[in-house]
Chain A
Amino acid sequence: MSKFLKRSAQGAQVPHEKRTSNLETVKMPLPSRIVLSMGQHIGAPAAPAVAKGDQVFVGTVVGKAGGFVSSDIHSGVSGTVDSIITITAPNGAPQTAVVIIPDKEQKVDPAVVPPTVTDLKSFQDAVRASGLVGLGGAGFPTAVKLSPKNLDEIDTLVINGAECEPYITSDNRCFLEDTQYIMDGIQAVMKYLEIPKCIIGIEANKPEAIAKMKSVASAGIEVKELPCRYPQGAEKVLIENCTGREVPFPGLPSDVGVVVMNVTSVAFVGKYLATGMPLTTKRLTVDGDIVKEPKNVEVIIGTPVQELIDFCGGFTEEPGKVLYGGPMMGNCIADLSQPILKNNNAVLAFSRKASELPKATNCIHCGRCTNACPLGLSAKEIVQAYNDGNVELLIELNADLCMSCGTCSFVCPAKRPLAPSIALAKIMMKNGGKK
């Protein structure tokens, strides 16, 4: 009862739409070209390490990390560098990209050999060299995440397998198809970072994945069934539900002794330690009301969205929106020549009818946004303060705590675009009052 009065944090009952959950992953054939963006992660963009006309192989570094919080970018094909161009990143900013035309031989770079890992340092170096970034969507360089300053205080590894976004089933497929790699990855992280305990959090709508992981879980590894309430997979929500700890703001999970990794990321760690093949492919769910053949596809990073859609039978009608990621937090793709990025876990396409949101009407102060917010924020008050230009109130309301999960917008019966308004409010806070 006291917890209930403190913060209701009900979340939202979003539709599941997981119709691809039983579809085994299929490998997409080589695309006609790949476009490797130098900004596929949080942090400094990578710098092109190749020039026009250079010969590259599968696993060759084509982008060198631009700093500590950055990541290398590797080619997923053997072929020739066609050009270095500027593309528009999903956030609208220009980004350098390397275009490679495959020679269809798929020769592997001789540098690709399983890494020699003996201690923490060599483990972190290996993860850094693999080009791994948070594959749940954030794209935070994993090597940085695995180098917390207070390593001896970390006692729990949380594996995020909530997959709370509608439609997406790529994590579910990962649990079922890459079970051994997941276990290898978890054990490696636990061993080298000396973390005694691991909790794998999976939403209850993936019973097969839960059963499978329970059957293989070894000592110190617990599988936790999470309720189907969006956003279970939001880092802070997941940590609270799995460990009962609240990540302070501002702060990081490591402040409460936790490291969180997405299941696909940890599976990749296991695979990389065994093969030495850097991150060059990604499992994606391709779905939406106008995709002819929804699929789970293993696709080479850099493949243009258009070719991926063609592989899935194309569209049944003119697309309205095409998204990177799920419908709650995904970004719109401006045109189909855009490439697949490391941190994509789905490409969803919707008809014009499904894309158009209903018109916003007056706020009726029902309080659903407040009671649904997983972080206990009051969306209606934040938006009102933003409209009034009241920065002081925005600070008092902790508008900057918002993680843009979209729950408030989803539950609003008046269909008000609360989450985008809060995103603008955060910018206003940073600018000290200017819209």
Chain B
Amino acid sequence: MDNKLIVTAAPHITSGDSTQKIMGRVCLALVPTLVASIIIFGVNSLILTAVTVGACVFFEWVYCKLMGREIPIADFSAVVTGLLLAFNMPATLPWWMAIVGAFIAIVIIKQLFGGLGYNFANPAIVARISLAVGFGAKMSAYPLPENGVDALSSATPLAVAGELGAGDYVTLLLGQHGGVLGETCAITILIGGVYLIATKVISPMIPVTYLATVAVLSLCFGMDPVVQLLSGGLMLGAFFMATDYVTSPTTDKGKLVAGIFLGVVTMLIRRFGNMNEGVSFAILLMNLITPYIEVNTRQAKLGIAKKKEAAAK
């Protein structure tokens, strides 16, 4: 027979979704925040973002080329890492530092561990922490919006939270205050987050439980929950960084545990620590315990009696 038929195992169709489309939607969800940062901090935000994204994609391409691996840049995952990393930098950060950050994120955290899907922690988070430790002064030199790109070292609202009044909530929502690119405007982050939930890219479980835990704990600690929710990297972290597939639990039960854990660690650092990177460290710690959360929060399987019940029989 010349007419050879293809024989493969079922199923014979797949959904229309793909890794590329998912990463594309994450990029799209980050666009409003990018626009906000350009409005707030000036065109330097855009240049810094372009440099970081470009460096991430370049490092991914070079590494895979040198290692003789397939070039995966079409899946947009390096673009997502670049955007998130840029959003964790102040607009005044020297470009070469941004490139160092991109190298840490893509080469050290992502590719050396095996590429997409094998990194143990969120590349952008580790890069941000590395930069904060290595270039502390530049990383915390938050420009004030009025001064545009002319650097004027100032405190993030968190540092002066005690002095903020209720009238400042609007300032926090709109992002008219000092900070890194992507964590000042809470509204655009929320828009992006809701878009990701609506398109089923992320589950609302981690952001909702994370934010709720922070709100409850700030009340317990006698801090203003609204200020705590809207300032620092919390919004960006909750919607975009803690929800990274590779480094967070997959089941709803696991996500619930992760969200509460994140909230507790963040608030402990904010209340008792003296660093600005509470969210970053909380997410890094959550990344590290994710494998343990994962094996202990598996779903109940249909028709499989729990061990206790089975023993009782």
Contacts and interface: CB of A to CB of B under 8 A. Distances in A.
A and B form one complex:
yes
Contact of A350 (B1, B12, B118, B302): B12
A362 interface: yes
Contacts of B163: none
9 contacts: A7-B299, A236-B303, A327-B12, A328-B12, A332-B6, A376-B301, A410-B11, A411-B15, A423-B9
Contact of A376 (B12, B117, B256, B299): B299
Given A375-B302, A398-B301, A420-B10, 16 more contacts: A7-B301, A14-B13, A249-B304, A321-B5, A330-B10, A334-B7, A356-B6, A361-B72, A378-B250, A406-B11, A410-B13, A413-B21, A413-B22, A414-B18, A414-B19, A419-B10
B296 interface: no
B302 A166 contact: no
Contact of A249 (B8, B10, B245, B303): B303
A362 B118 contact: yes
B72, B253, B301, B304 — most chain A CB neighbours (10 Å):
B301
B130 interface: no
Given A251-B303, A376-B299, A401-B301, A320 B11 contact: no
Nearest to A7: B299
A213 to B, nearest CB: 27
A377 B299 CA distance: 7
Contacts of B19: 361-362, 364, 413-414
A117 to B, nearest CB: 34
Nearest to B200: A368
Interface string A319-347: 11111000111111111100000000000
Contacts of B5: 319-322, 332-336
Q: SS class of chain A's interface: helix, strand, loop or mixed?
A: loop
B115 interface: yes
Closest 4 CB pairs of A and B: A367-B250, A406-B11, A420-B9, A249-B303
B298 interface: yes
Interface string A144-178: 00000000000000000000001000000000000
B252 interface: yes
A409 B9 CA distance: 11
Contacts of B10: 327-331, 404, 406, 419-420
B207 to A, nearest CB: 16
Contacts of A406: 10-11
Nearest to A249: B303
Contact of A417 (B9, B18, B77): B9
A8 B75 CA distance: 28
Contacts of B21: 413
Contact of B250 (A318, A357, A362, A366): A366
A12, A376, A420 — most chain B CB neighbours (10 Å):
A376
B3 interface: yes
B75 A401 contact: no
A419 B250 contact: no
A358 B303 contact: no
Interface of B: 1, 3, 5-15, 17-19, 21-22, 72, 75, 77, 115-118, 245-246, 249-253, 256, 298-305
Contacts of A409: 11, 14
A355 B18 CA distance: 18
Contact of B14 (A4, A367, A412): A412
A230 to B, nearest CB: 10
A15 interface: yes
A52 B12 CA distance: 39
B79 to A, nearest CB: 14
Interface in A1-49: 4-9, 12-15
A363 B303 contact: no
Contacts of B302: 7, 9, 236-237, 240, 246-247, 249, 374-376, 401
A411 to B, nearest CB: 5
A411 B245 CA distance: 15
Nearest to A319: B5
A248 interface: yes
Nearest to A333: B5
Interface in A359-417: 361-367, 370-371, 373-378, 380, 397-398, 401, 404, 406, 409-415, 417
Interface string A73-110: 00000000000000000000000000000000000000
Contacts of A415: 14, 18
A370 B299 contact: yes
B12, B21, B256 — most chain A CB neighbours (10 Å):
B12
B3 A318 contact: yes
Contacts of B13: 14-15, 166, 327-328, 410
Contacts of B6: 320-321, 332, 352, 355-356
